[in-house]
Amino acid sequence: MSWNFSLILFVALMVTGLVWALDRWVLSHRRDKDAKRPWWVEYGASFFPVILFVFVLRSFIVEPFRIPSGSMLPTLQSGDLILVNKYTYGIRLPILDTKVIPIGEPDRGDVMVFRYPVDPSVDYIKRVIGLPGDEVAYLNKRLYINGQEVPVKRDGDYFEPDRLTYTAQYIEELGDVSHKILVDKSSRQDLRPVWRFPYRDSCDFRMDGIVCRVPEGVYFMMGDNRDNSLDSRFWGFVPESHIVGKAFFIWMNFSEPGRIGRFH
């Protein structure tokens, strides 16, 4: 969806830019001084600066997204309107998504927007769990990175509005990031791949969970709502080329107008 909108915006930019340039350097010199511009020139030249501003803003600086599900509860709720930093992980060419200026790399614990590997036309948002070279294990609903269990602390219960039920909430210490997760200890864990994803041989699916060695150039992602998230445990790794940006700010939720601010 985001890629389609970017393409439409790019086409609009090219068309209005052509009209603006044609009017500035050709048509304006041929018109009488007091003559009005044709309607198509008037609209094209007027919209060009606005479209250029929006195109540059959402392509290189910040882009808005809407959270469609509860897979990132309790960090992000369904309906949250968020902002995504487009330059944290490097400057990319619009449409082509080719990185031209490297700036930084994803860190463990980042909340990242990316193009869904199974269907790149769809944007997903999850948390970065495994970096290239890491061994990630999710066994009996406990997370291990490079053989070390990730510390968690019980933090009461959370009411999931989508499921109308309470789920156990924990505070997870993932590297330098402290964030909340939901884990339903009573539900059955059934981790099976939904497609034959690249580097499938790097993962070992077991009765009690999954163990993956993260290859170079890809990332292992998981939702904070651990029992209600379709993530790398099911469809594999996210290639570096699929990265959209780092999510960092909630600016609106129409169901909760006061829900605004940064998150981790």
The closest of 141, 124, 119, 126 to 191, measured between CA atoms, is 141
Catalytic residue among 59, 71, 229, 232: 71
Is 71 in the active site? Answer: yes
pLDDT in tens, 42-55: 998 999 999 999 99
Q: Which long-range contacts (CB under 8 A, 24 or more apart) does 88-91 make?
A: 88/245, 88/246, 89/243, 89/245, 89/246, 91/60
Does the active-site annotation cover 126?
yes
Q: Which of 59, 69, 86, 126 is catalytic?
A: 126
Nearest to 233 by CA among 103, 152, 168, 141: 141
Q: What's this model's pTM, rounded to 2 decimal places?
A: 0.90
pLDDT band at 27 (very low <50, low <70, confident <90, very high): confident
Q: How far apart are CA 245 and CA 235, in angstroms?
A: 20
Question: What tens digit of pLDDT does each residue of 110-145 get?
Answer: 999 999 999 998 999 999 999 999 999 999 999 999
The CA distance from 186 to 259, in Å, is 30
